[in-house]
Amino acid sequence: MRSVWMALAHEDIGDQHKRTTLGPVWLLINYLAFAGTFVVMFGDNRSVPHFAAYVATGLFVWLYLTEVITQSVTLFNREEGFIKGTTLPLTVYVMRMTMQSVIRASYALAGCVAILLLVRTPLTVDWLWSGLALIMIIVATPAAIMIFAVAGAFFPDLSFIVQNLMRIGMFLTPVFWMHPGGGIRGELYRWNPFTYFLEMVRQPVTNAEFPVTAFGICATIILFLWVLATLLLGGYRKKIVFVL
């Protein structure tokens, strides 16, 4: 089955850009334009060391998480024809979207690394921890997709709820601002689970340190996601076709 969802993912990426001059390179340009705008407009923020690197890494992770979550809610509805007309397991659609998201993110990652090098972010061995963090996020992706896809199939309104929450969440998550130390923002930083996924990738790059707390919390969240995804798949995989 791996060859099926990998081929479908590559075909999807090609179809989305088949009539464009630059093709998937637009994914790189989109990220650079977004990140570059924030770096230029707020680049004099002296309260955040290595602000350009802080924004580039935080925005990269946030955009990936946002795309995965918002797109997964409508996954089974978009694939209704295939689900009703073929015997392919639901995991094929989940893994296809996972691969598609990873391919799209690879272009943004190239842009992120380019910004880090351009602003002369110190290259240390701690960057390897960021690589491990990205692998952990990829491991969590199929589970997150399955959870939101099943929920979206039973609750169509969830798509609009999630889109609005993710828009608001961008400002409630330390994508551009850092730990304020206390107050409401401090509590948002502490209790927002997205914080730790961002910091798991960002701190090894900007602070040259291993974020033990972030890795521990993210590992726990990922384990929970997989347990929940497995339970949902086992309990609802035969019911999905009847609610689409």
Residue 81, judged by CB atoms within 10 A of its CB (0-12, 13-18, 19+), counts as exposed
User: 230 — phi, psi (to 5°)?
Assistant: -65, -40
**DSSP symbol at 181:** S
Give this prediction's pTM.
Answer: 0.91
Q: What is the pLDDT of residue 229?
A: 96
DSSP 8-state code for residue 206 = H
Q: Tokens representing 19?
A: 């009539």
The CA-CA-CA angle for residues 147, 152, 157, to 5°, reads: 140
Q: Where are the domains of the chain?
A: 2-243
176: three-class secondary structure by DSSP: coil
How far CA 115 is from CA of 35, 122, 123, in Å, comes to 9, 12, 13
Q: What's at 97, amino acid-wise?
A: M
Distance of alpha carbon 189 from alpha carbon 182, whole angstroms: 9
Tokens 């998201």, residue?
101
What distance in Å separates the CA atoms of residue 203 and residue 57, rounded to the nearest whole number? 9
pLDDT of residue 177: 81
pLDDT at 241: 80
Per-residue pLDDT, 15: 62
Predicted pLDDT at 7: 66
pLDDT of residue 203: 94
Q: How far apart are CA 39 and CA 53, in angstroms?
A: 9
**Average pLDDT for runs of 10 along the chain of length 244:** 64 65 78 84 64 91 95 90 83 90 91 89 91 96 96 92 94 84 80 94 92 96 97 87 78
In the prediction, which pLDDT does 8 show? 65
Which residue, among 62, 68, 239, 198, has the nearest Cα to 146 in the 3D structure? 68
Other beta carbons within 10 Å of 25: 13
Which run of H or of E encompasses 166?
A: helix 158-172
pLDDT of residue 148: 96
Phi/psi of residue 192, nearest 5 degrees: -80, 115
Nearest alpha carbon to residue 130 among 201, 60, 63: 201
